[in-house]
Structure 1
């Protein structure tokens, strides 16, 4: 385990210990003093006696007491789908979904969960990334504290897609949400509009096409953006932090906010990460330290789509032969200038101009498998043609030069100096 990940795990454990040690723990249990918790399809949180102080579930049941830490559930957790209903308002600062070997889907619904000023620690990490273990809290969460979520789910590329943690209530809590593991659905209600989402070991999952407007911070343990299938996510809030972002699975993640305060690395393991939407005039993620496209298991694409010109200051490497760096300027005069290292071998990766110009300026050292030039829209009288300008003091090594890629009859190369091999 990497040092930063181990440190984050220890800090999260310490946080949960601090919160729960100040609270008595109550285990959900609907089968009286019989060991285990029983298998309720539906049960009440705070009416009746559906809790026990015994972790094994073999003690007499008790009623819920506000201020306690809630654990679902006693004993060896049963399989199936549980829906637990809150009536009125309950108060807790800790909810844990335990049981690593179960396939339980948990739903907490109804009423209000008051977290006061102490925040709420939500822990579903024991469920792991196995399919069929989603957790949903649709009760309203109120209070002036924030949330820490150790979610279930898997952040890796190609992992299970139907085990997600979701907050769907009419939440108004006033603190930030920190995600330390697993994946949380992007449609979740993260409370007050001013609250930030902090990815510090966990991720957001985009299982449908939609917008994410929250400000996003990336902690030292990094964060993951997962797009299932062909889903397109558009992120419009600020982006900050120095941890790494890992972009996994298919679809496209479009960023149009102010990411000037993000200085970490970007790994596009799968799918596409797009900077700009054809309207922005400046690179919104200009201060990324390094970008890696794809890995041994699949290709990734980085696309800059701007109505303006910029100099690409971020070193980019290709981790898969099918990975691509794409420039798509809105107008013919829009230029992406490269004056540093791009790629490490002339057998891997593609540098493509869909429209506008790519200029290799003095200092550019470009090694890619393919240079491709096309036009947008292809073969149209109004097309903006992709152009490559090779200037003095540059080196371009490539195995293939594809002018008019994809059936397009357009593409221009201008060489005024440098070396092309």
Structure 2
């Protein structure tokens, strides 16, 4: 049984004493409040321990524990719903987002209340929900938030700077949502089936993970710091009004993502494949999944043998390396090469519709040499055209067809198309 306690600060020994419970003593310099019948101006767990009648030490150790317990506890994150009409029926609307107006409802029903103003100082950031009637929400000053959830299409966030804070912020969209405010803070995860369009010259630092839906950009600056990357999950998409930087890295995590317009200048990498809508032009692309071109006329700037980087990636097996040109919506797929001369052993597959054939055109400055097989596919016997517009073509692989499709070889003056191997297509040659 312990018979004495040494106070190391005072250098004296003291007999153990029992302190009265906190219900019966006054703490100097503190304010007493009640928690389940016990005085507690600090964390409830500490109050329960301290209010027992166990032997305790007087002096420095007790003072330190009490000071820690009496510290202020900041408000945690809350879920708040944008609600410009207060507790009247309905959520959402157009208005100014600030830190003074009572425009936020803690209840998703839009009527319960009580209404609150936005708290920029919430630890980890409060979560903002935008439901009901879509509108333009204009930031009257800098705002800080954690997660943003847009439950309906049509919202626009405009005005001052929006800072994303807390652990792994998310932006969820059910439909098309636009953020024109400058986004600062950290990167985020895009979730929800809808599209998110960023138009500001953003300053956030950190990657964007697109887990669902689409990401639209006004320019490379919309992606924040130059070192920020983008990760695309299967079935997601990315587009940009103007060209992204060639150094901007977009990782296709798995499956197949869709890229269009200005996004096709970025560097694509990863284990997934890509559906291309436009001209893909970064010759350092090394993604290893399959490349599929959408219907209409699209293009590429380089192609290489399996396993080597090119604008069409660097797949390592024949199936992933087969370049497919799709058809759909009554529109056949056409493909234009605009490089300075390339050679590839990869295979090609062209599909058509009842409304038209396909063509592969060399509009570049050098010879395009293809040693892999070329399939003129589709169920319709319409012409597959190989065109040497400004560069020559060497078609040295087997040209085959899935229907009696005519195969045409055309070119401008002075251009040469060389056809080799024992081709197996069954339609006429023109």
Q: TM-score, structure 2 length as denominator?
A: 0.67
Residues 156 and 177 of structure 2 are in contact (CA less than 8 Å); yes or no, is this contact kept in structure 1?
Answer: yes
1:123 is aligned to 2:150: no
Q: Deviations over 1:175-211 (max 9, x none)?
A: 11122333332315011011122222321235x5x32
Q: 2:394 aligns with which of 359, 363, 382?
A: 359
- Match of 1:211? 243
- Match of 1:401? 429
- Match of 2:157? 108
- Match of 2:254? 220
Cα distance in 2 between the residues matched to 1:191 and 1:234: 15
Q: 1:194 aligns with which of 202, 227, 233?
A: 227
- Match of 1:269? 294
Cα distance in 2 between the residues matched to 1:342 and 1:173: 46
| Alignment map for 1:281-360 (pairs within 5 Å) | 283-285=310-312, 287-288=314-315, 289=320, 290-297=322-329, 298-318=331-351, 320=353, 322=356, 324-328=358-362, 330-331=364-365, 334-344=367-377, 347=381, 350-355=384-389, 356-360=391-395
Q: How many residues align?
A: 329
Shift of 1:139: 2.2
Shift of 1:68: 0.9
- Quote the RMSD (CA, aligned, Å): 3.0
Cα distance in 1 between the residues matched to 2:243 and 2:141: 33
1:373 is aligned to 2:409: yes
Given the superposition, is the C-alpha separation of residues 283 and 70 from structure 1 closer, same or farther in structure 2, using an over 3 Å criterion? closer
Higher strand share: 1
Cα distance in 1 between the residues matched to 2:140 and 2:256: 34
Shift of 1:274: 1.4
Q: 1:167 aligns with which of 187, 192, 198?
A: 198
Q: Name the structure, 1 or 2, with higher relative contact order (CA <8 Å, separation 6+).
A: 1
Cα distance in 2 between the residues matched to 1:105 and 1:286: 36
Q: TM-score, structure 1 length as denominator?
A: 0.69
Residues 307 and 329 of structure 1 are in contact (CA less than 8 Å); yes or no, is this contact kept in structure 2?
Answer: no
Q: Deviations over 1:287-334 (max 9, x none)?
A: 342322223533222332221230241342425464535141645x61
Greater Rg, structure 1 or structure 2? 2
Given the superposition, is the C-alpha separation of residues 120 and 234 from structure 1 closer, same or farther in structure 2, using an over 3 Å criterion? closer
Cα distance in 2 between the residues matched to 1:388 and 1:44: 66
Can you give the 5+ residue segments of structure 1 that lack an aligned partner in the other structure?
Answer: 1-21, 128-133, 154-163, 228-232, 403-421
